[in-house]
Chains A and B, each alone.
Chain A
Amino acid sequence: DSGVTQTPKHLITATGQRVTLRCSPRSGDLSVYWYQQSLDQGLQFLIQYYNGEERAKGNILERFSAQQFPDLHSELNLSSLELGDSALYFCASSVTGLAGVTYNEQFFGPGTRLTVL
């Protein structure tokens, strides 16, 4: 158990719908990262938050958004869903996202498997 929790574990929905994925980082971790794993694209970084603020964006679609709340949990919102959004979505956390810090191991949650029909 990594200490990172994600809900729900599975989500089945229809095209055009909107869903919210939730992540709670390990106790004490300030940075949250969202990754998407699909068969054709592999594991890709979507977005990072540090202590409530957006820190970096990766290959995140405009239909997707995220936020990190004062208690440090994070939510990833996916809207106008398409078949191609079906994937495993991971959240990861690390102690800090600050440059110059030497230790920044990332720990992953169990993932949310999204199926868009």
Chain B
Amino acid sequence: GIQVEQSPPDLILQEGANSTLRCNFSDSVNNLQWFHQNPWGQLINLFYIPSGTKQNGRLSATTVATERYSLLYISSSQTTDSGVYFCAVVRQAGTALIFGKGTTLSVSS
């Protein structure tokens, strides 16, 4: 099956710093989503981005489907950005998400 790899596994930042999280996938995909899992365990949708670039406030994401990777950019990080960031892909439309292992982000003030 398709493999989803995220890097780095862990990231420690000072408040105000910028960061880039990467997601590589081993085969073509129909859909890609980024999630933030907060310390309470909730999975929050960040981006639905099968291709192209999207921005939402301090966060932006780019997916280059032909090269099988996606990037999540976090600018001016805040302590509330802490948590685990997951990339997940769908191989075929209407099927289940396949998750990467996540990047754990810790932002300190």
- Closest partner residue, chain A, to B31 (CB atom): A104
Q: Is B79 part of the binding interface, using a Cβ–Cβ cutoff of 8 Å?
A: no
In the docked arrangement, what's the CA distance between A104 and B86, Å? 17
Interface string of A94-111 (1 = CB under 8 A from B): 101111111111111011
User: Contact residue range for chain B?
Assistant: 20 to 34
Q: Is B13 part of the binding interface, using a Cβ–Cβ cutoff of 8 Å?
A: no
Q: Which of the residues A33, A43, A50, A100 comes within 8 Å of B93, measured between beta carbons?
A: A100
Q: Is A73 part of the binding interface, using a Cβ–Cβ cutoff of 8 Å?
A: no
* A90-B43 in contact given A43-B99, A105-B33 (Cβ < 8 Å): yes
Residues of B within 8 A of A28 (CB): none
Residues of B within 8 A of A55 (CB): 94
Question: Do B41 and A104 touch across chains, with their CB atoms under 8 A apart?
Answer: no
Question: Do B96 and A99 touch across chains, with their CB atoms under 8 A apart?
Answer: no
In the docked arrangement, what's the CA distance between A35 and B86, Å? 14
Interface string of B82-100 (1 = CB under 8 A from A): 0000101010111111110
Q: List 24 A-B contacts (CB under 8 A).
A: A2-B45, A31-B94, A33-B96, A42-B101, A42-B102, A43-B86, A43-B99, A45-B96, A50-B94, A58-B96, A88-B41, A92-B97, A94-B94, A97-B95, A101-B94, A104-B90, A105-B48, A106-B97, A108-B43, A108-B45, A110-B42, A111-B41, A111-B43, A113-B41
